[in-house]
Chain A
Amino acid sequence: MLLTLPILLPLLTAAVLHLMPQKARWLRTVAFAGSLSTLAAGVAILVRAQGGAAIQVLQVGAWPAPYGITLVADLFSALMIVMVSIIGVAVTASSFAGLDPRREALGYHALIQVVLMGVAGAFLTGDIFNLYVWFEVLLIGSFVLMSLHRTRAQLQAAFIYVALNLLASAFLLTALGLLYGQAGTLNLADLAQTWPERRTPGLDAALSMLFLTAFGIKAGLFPLFFWLPASYHTPPAAIGALLAGLLTKVGVYAMIRVFTLLFPDPGAFLYSVLLWLSAITMIVGLIGALAQRDFRRVLSFNLVGHIGFTTVGLALWTPAALGGSILYVLHHMLVIATLFLASGVFLRLRRTTELDVLGGLYASHPAAACLVLIPLFALAGVPPLSGFVAKVAVVGPMLAGGHYGVAAVALCVSLLTLLSMARLWEEAFWKPPVKPPSASLPPQRLDAALVSPIAFLVSLSVGLTALAGPISALTISAAEQLLDRQAYIRAVLGDEVTRAAR
Chain B
Amino acid sequence: MELLLAIIAGVLYASGLYLMLRRRLAQLIIGLSLLSNGSNILILAAAGVTPGKPPLITPGVALEQYADPVPQSLILTSIVIGFGVLAFALVIAHRVNQSVGSDDIDAIGPDRE
Contacts and interface: CB of A to CB of B under 8 A. Distances in A.
Interface string B74-99: 10011001001100110011011001
Contact of B99 (A132, A133, A150): A150
A158 interface: yes
A153 B84 CA distance: 24
A152 B113 contact: yes
A174 B35 CA distance: 10
Contacts of B36: 166, 170, 173
A150 B109 CA distance: 14
Contact of B112 (A152, A177, A180, A234): A152
A153 B110 contact: yes
A155 B96 contact: yes
B32 interface: yes
Given A153-B111, A180-B47, A147 B92 contact: yes
B43 A162 contact: no
A155 B46 contact: no
Interface string A65-93: 00000000000000000000000000000
A170 B39 contact: yes
Given A170-B36, A173-B39, A151 B77 contact: no
B108 A173 contact: no
Given A159-B92, A170-B36, A177 B42 contact: yes
Interface in A117-147: 129, 132-133, 136, 139-140, 143-144, 147
A160 to B, nearest CB: 8
Nearest to A203: B46
A169 B82 CA distance: 10
B81 to A, nearest CB: 5
Contacts of A169: 85
A180 to B, nearest CB: 6
B67 interface: no
A152 B106 CA distance: 12
A147 B74 CA distance: 29
Interface residues of B, number: 41
Contacts of B93: 159
Interface in A145-187: 147, 150-153, 155-156, 158-159, 162-163, 166-167, 169-170, 173-174, 176-178, 180-182, 184, 186
A395 B41 CA distance: 45
Nearest to A154: B111
Given A159-B96, A178-B42, A152 B111 contact: yes
Contacts of B77: 129, 133
Given A155-B108, A176-B74, A162 B88 contact: yes
B92 A162 contact: yes
B8 to A, nearest CB: 14
Interface residues of A, number: 34
Interface string B15-57: 0100010000100100010011011101101111000000000
A234 B111 CA distance: 10
A234 B92 CA distance: 16
Nearest to A167: B20
B47 A181 contact: yes
A280 B77 CA distance: 37
B46 A178 contact: yes
Contact of B20 (A132, A139, A163, A181): A163
Contacts of B105: 156, 159
Contact of A167 (B32, B71, B74): B32
B43 A176 contact: yes
B11 interface: no
Nearest to A130: B77
A155 B89 contact: no
Contacts of B110: 152-153
B70 interface: yes
B100 interface: yes
Nearest to B75: A177
B43 A180 contact: yes
A136 B88 CA distance: 12
Contacts of B113: 151-152
Given A173-B78, A180-B43, A143 B88 contact: yes
Contacts of B40: 173
Nearest to A132: B78
A150 B13 CA distance: 32
Q: Which of B36, B39, B70, B109 has the most CB of A within 10 A?
A: B39
Contacts of B42: 174, 177-178
A138 B67 CA distance: 33
Contacts of A159: 25, 89, 92-93, 96, 105, 108
Contacts of A151: 111, 113
Contacts of A147: 92, 95
27 contacts: A133-B77, A136-B81, A139-B85, A140-B85, A147-B95, A152-B99, A155-B96, A155-B99, A155-B108, A156-B105, A156-B108, A156-B109, A159-B25, A159-B93, A163-B20, A170-B16, A170-B35, A170-B38, A173-B36, A173-B43, A173-B78, A174-B13, A174-B42, A176-B43, A180-B46, A184-B68, A186-B74
Given A156-B96, A156-B109, 18 more contacts: A129-B74, A139-B85, A143-B88, A143-B92, A150-B95, A151-B111, A152-B112, A153-B111, A155-B108, A159-B93, A163-B32, A166-B36, A170-B35, A170-B36, A170-B38, A173-B43, A177-B42, A180-B46
Q: Which 6 A-B pairs have the closest CB atoms?
A: A181-B46, A153-B111, A177-B43, A156-B108, A173-B39, A170-B35
